[in-house]
Amino acid sequence: MTSTLNSTAQASTGDAPPTLTHWIGGSARPGTSGRYGDVTDPATGAVTARVPFASTEEVEQAVAAATAAFPRWRDTSLTKRTQVLFRFRELLNARAPELAALITAEHGKVLSDAAGEVARGQEAVEFACGMPHLLKGGATENASTGVDVHSVRQPLGPVAVISPFNFPAMVPMWFFPIAIAAGNTVVLKPSEKVPSAALWVAELWREAGLPDGVFTVLNGDKVAVDGLLTHPDVKAVSFVGSTPIARYIYETGTAHGKRVQALGGAKNHMVVLPDADLDLAADQAVNAGFGSAGERCMAISALVAVGDIADSLVGKIADRARGLRTGDGRRGCDMGPLVTRAAQERVSGYITAGESEGATVVVDGRTGQFDADGEGFFVGPTLLDGVGTGMSVYSDEIFGPVLSVLRVDTYEQAVDLVNANPYGNGTAIFTNDGGAARRFQNEVEVGMIGVNVPVPVPMAYYSFGGWKNSLFGDTHAHGTEGVHFYTRGKVVTSRWLDPSHGGLDLGFPQNS
């Protein structure tokens, strides 16, 4: 692979943007549906590519390629499978900056943040490199007289991964390295807003020596998703996206007999107790609220100030937010644009709604100086104070650089507020009181907790997942839960005959 997207972009004519492809059976395949979406550079507003939207026939082709590749890949030795994983890891490590640049060009996040995303995705690849150990079963000798028992975990078959726009590389990497290392084949349907990272990864897999058909990229919209969700040969679906779609994916996929893990949206609270280091809390609130322009499922969007610290904390956050430089992510800015014009308009609309519902706009990102050329999709860092639980800026997932401050009097009120929220992805407490932190992690109904850590994204060898409306299904992503999701257990009970065994006995087998 000498340059990005050599084989996955068709030549453009004149000034028209290039047209991307699918990746089926180990090579780039032009779209045939006649339906396309625009891919934009969010920092300039320019259309940079057209992405094909798959037809149902193309879903069939993608699943057929994954189905055909499965038996051989499943039977490829663990040693050979993990050698491909290690090569993929080395290539990814060497070329991470290329992938980060692609992410910034389509998502808009600043380059350092894109590089961080790639690094966190790579952790999951490294975890999957340990698959021989992770797939080890148990064995019991002489469980009954002369009878041995052992367990194995086997791959499922073709599995689908459907990913959101906000982590074009990391979120797919939560799933496909583990699925592939465990012996499955994968059809990835990336977000139509940011398709290029997936195509880049497909080329990397080819270079790493992955057999054709083991990794497929199917670009598209609801037609592609519904085709995968209902296809009888797709055995499992891993989805990440907004809560309404996650619920739909879970209900439809399970109704079609599939194993489904569907990670949804979030409203993450950061509780600051009166004894906290307020400068640390202010730094971290800004990092977690405005990093990636708030387009992270683990972003902090609600800050709960407990007791009489609120005025001081709001002042410190406002000073820091005003000092941030927003602009083109390739120019060393702190914060980039939102992903689309529609996202920019939606987030600005929420700020206006919050103001009309009674919140105080302490820092207003609707207008400002943005370091970029063209018509980028910018909203600057925004701080709202005096937010109430009945306001739409609190009840809805805004998914933008808007930090809302809620004021409560006691720790108990803070925990009640967090637990009453229908989402349960991540939360953080800032305090120097170990007893309070310990109580918080025990009482709060949220899947991932940070103690003086604002964005507590688990390492790849733990599992990632929220509670309540933030995850539908039983299994979290990556870690041992990921291995479990992509494998089925089998227990073998065996007796090698010797002359002392035999004879008729129609009773239920009992140990002896």
Strand order in the sheet with 402-408: 360-363, 382-385, 402-408, 300-306, 268-272, 426-430, 448-451
In this complex, which beta carbon is closest to ligand NAD, that of residue 39 or of residue 84? 39
The DSSP bridge pattern shows strands 300-306 and 9-10 to be unpaired
Helices (H), 323-433: 341-356, 392-395, 411-420
In this complex, which beta carbon is closest to ligand NAD, that of residue 169 or of residue 436? 169
Distance CA 188, CA 184 (A): 13
Angle at 407 between CA 403 and CA 408, to 5 degrees: 140
Give me the least distance between CB of 497 and ligand NAD, in Å please: 52
In this complex, which beta carbon is closest to ligand NAD, that of residue 166 or of residue 463? 166
In this complex, which beta carbon is closest to ligand NAD, that of residue 121 or of residue 264? 264
Give me the least distance between CB of 291 and ligand NAD, in Å please: 14
Nearest to 161 by CA among 145, 177, 148: 177
Q: What is the dihedral of CA 7, 13, 15, 19, to 10 degrees?
A: -40
Active site (annotated) includes residue 333: no
Give me the least distance between CB of 153 and ligand NAD, in Å please: 24
Contact 48, 106 (CB under 8 A): yes
CB contact set of 507 (below 8 Å; sequence gap of 6+): none
Task: State the residue number with the nearest CB to ligand NAD.
Answer: 241
Give me the least distance between CB of 266 and ligand NAD, in Å please: 5
Give me the least distance between CB of 295 and ligand NAD, in Å please: 7
Residues that bind ligand NAD (CB under 6 A): 162-167, 171, 189, 191-192, 221-222, 225, 240-242, 245, 263-266, 297, 397, 399, 425, 466, 470
In this complex, which beta carbon is closest to ligand NAD, that of residue 171 or of residue 179? 171
Phi-psi region of 5 (alpha: psi -120 to 50; beta: other; left: phi over 0): left
Q: How far is CA 324 from the centre of its chain?
A: 26
Give me the least distance between CB of 315 and ligand NAD, in Å please: 29
In this complex, which beta carbon is closest to ligand NAD, that of residue 167 or of residue 486? 167
Contact 93, 115 (CB under 8 A): no
Contact 288, 266 (CB under 8 A): no
Q: Kindly state the tokens that stand for 173.
A: 């990497």
Query: Of 182, 297, 402, 444, which is the active-site residue?
Result: 297
Give me the least distance between CB of 241 and ligand NAD, in Å please: 3
Strand order in the sheet with 487-495: 139-144, 147-155, 487-495
In this complex, which beta carbon is closest to ligand NAD, that of residue 82 or of residue 427? 427
Residue with tokens 């109704």: 255
In this complex, which beta carbon is closest to ligand NAD, that of residue 111 or of residue 266? 266
Q: Kindly state the tokens that stand for 171.
A: 């979120």
Give me the least distance between CB of 259 and ligand NAD, in Å please: 18
* DSSP per-residue string spanning 341-365: HHHHHHHHHHHHHHHHTT-EEEE--
Q: Kindly state the tokens that stand for 166.
A: 């906000």
Contact 396, 265 (CB under 8 A): no
Residue with tokens 């087998």: 509
Amino acid at 188: L
Cite the active site residues. 297
